[in-house]
């Protein structure tokens, strides 16, 4: 069984810490990104999410959002799945969608990555 709670590191050395997953699948945590829109230093931001409740032995899917607190007017939504390889190593695979604020409807086309 794959456990989301704990400390995770991605290929860009960003860190994510997920607190215990509640019985209803909800969780909270913190995301320390090393990659920023403005090219600044790493920042700690809150995250909230939910994990799909599955049966024994299944690989859970999950979603969470990160509000890039105090350094960017953007929010990112992540969706993914947790896997465990034959050696017991847990891996999260995710896709993300980032939305940053723009000043007008005409600029909407460039607001989502």
Q: What CA–CA distance (Å, rounded) separates 29 from 51?
A: 13
Instruction: Give the burial string for 22-58 (b: 16+ CB within 10 Å, else e).
Output: eeebebebbbebeeeeeeeeeeebebebebeeeeeee
pLDDT exceeds cutoff 90 at 20 = no
pLDDT exceeds cutoff 90 at 40 = no
Is 26 contained in some domain?
Answer: yes
- Look at residue 79 in the predicted model and tell me its pLDDT: 97
Task: State how far the alpha carbon of 19 is from the alpha carbons of 51, 64, 87, in Å.
Answer: 12, 13, 24
pLDDT interval class at 12 (50, 70, 90): confident
Q: What CA–CA distance (Å, rounded) separates 46 from 28?
A: 8
pLDDT interval class at 109 (50, 70, 90): very high
Number of structural domains (the chain) is 1
Write down the pTM of the prediction: 0.82
**CATH assignment of the domain containing 91:** 2.40.128.30
As a whole number, mean pLDDT of residues 51-57 equals 73
How does pLDDT run across 55-78, given as a tens digit for each residue?
666 788 999 999 886 667 788 999
| Structural domain containing residue 20 | 6-110
């Amino acid at each position: 069984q794959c456990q989301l709670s704990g400390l995770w590191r991605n290929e860009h050395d960003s860190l994510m810490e997920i607190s215990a997953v509640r019985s209803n699948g909800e969780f909270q945590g913190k995301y320390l990104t090393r990659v920023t829109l403005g090219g600044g230093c790493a920042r700690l931001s809150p995250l909230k999410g939910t994990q799909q409740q599955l049966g024994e032995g299944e690989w859970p899917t999950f979603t969470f959002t990160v509000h890039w607190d105090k350094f960017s007017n953007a929010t990112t939504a992540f969706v993914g799945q947790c896997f465990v390889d034959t050696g017991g190593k847990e891996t999260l695979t995710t896709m993300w969608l980032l939305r940053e604020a723009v000043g007008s409807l005409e600029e909407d086309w460039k607001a989502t990555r």
